[in-house]
């Protein structure tokens, strides 16, 4: 099955690093598709920061990585996963989305990812947290 262009959420990156996670296989396969050039996939700086936060936090993962290991993983990912730009007009898109989807609390961070996707012409996010993107019908959340 071909992989449609899209963005990879932080949870997919975390599972790709954790060989014991049940989601490891599909996560690795998605990254391999990006690495071998058969898929056009992206991340954002925010997603890389969320990944770093998760993999270095013992409350979030069973075996946290050192900051140096997490940085090395990010450097490796950046070789084949381009970082989407966040142009100035993305702030306008955040405001438009908030008017249509008035989220609260930490849900603003998922809305910010959606805004970044939209201003870059992307409509698919690969995630295991589909419910996080349910408020945004303009985005298709797909598990790897």
If one counts the domains in the chain, the total is: 2
Which residue, 44, 51, 36, 32, is CA-closest to 6? 44
pLDDT one-digit tens code per residue, 8-63: 999 999 999 999 999 999 999 999 999 999 999 999 999 999 999 999 999 999 99
Flag whether 137 is in a domain: yes
Clarify whether residues 72 and 137 are in a common domain: no
Contact present, 29 and 8 (Cβ < 8 Å): no
Flag whether 12 is in a domain: yes
The Cα diameter of the chain in Å comes to: 41
Q: What are phi and psi of 25, to 5 degrees?
A: -55, -55
Domain assignment of residue 75, given as a range: 6-80
pTM summary value: 0.94
């Amino acid at each position: 099955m071909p992989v449609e262009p899209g963005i990879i959420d932080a949870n997919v990156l975390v599972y790709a690093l954790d060989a014991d996670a049940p989601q490891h296989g599909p996560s690795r396969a998605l990254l391999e598709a990006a690495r071998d050039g058969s898929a056009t996939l992206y991340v954002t700086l925010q997603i890389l920061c969320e990944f770093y936060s998760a993999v270095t936090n013992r409350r979030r993962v069973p075996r946290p990585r050192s900051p140096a290991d997490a940085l090395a993983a990010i450097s490796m990912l950046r070789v084949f996963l381009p970082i989407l730009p966040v142009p100035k007009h993305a702030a306008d898109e955040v405001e438009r989305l908030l008017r249509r989807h008035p989220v609260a609390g930490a849900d603003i961070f998922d809305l910010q990812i959606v805004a970044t996707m939209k201003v870059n012409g992307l409509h698919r996010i690969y995630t295991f947290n589909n419910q996080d993107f349910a408020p945004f019908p303009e985005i298709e959340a797909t598990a790897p």
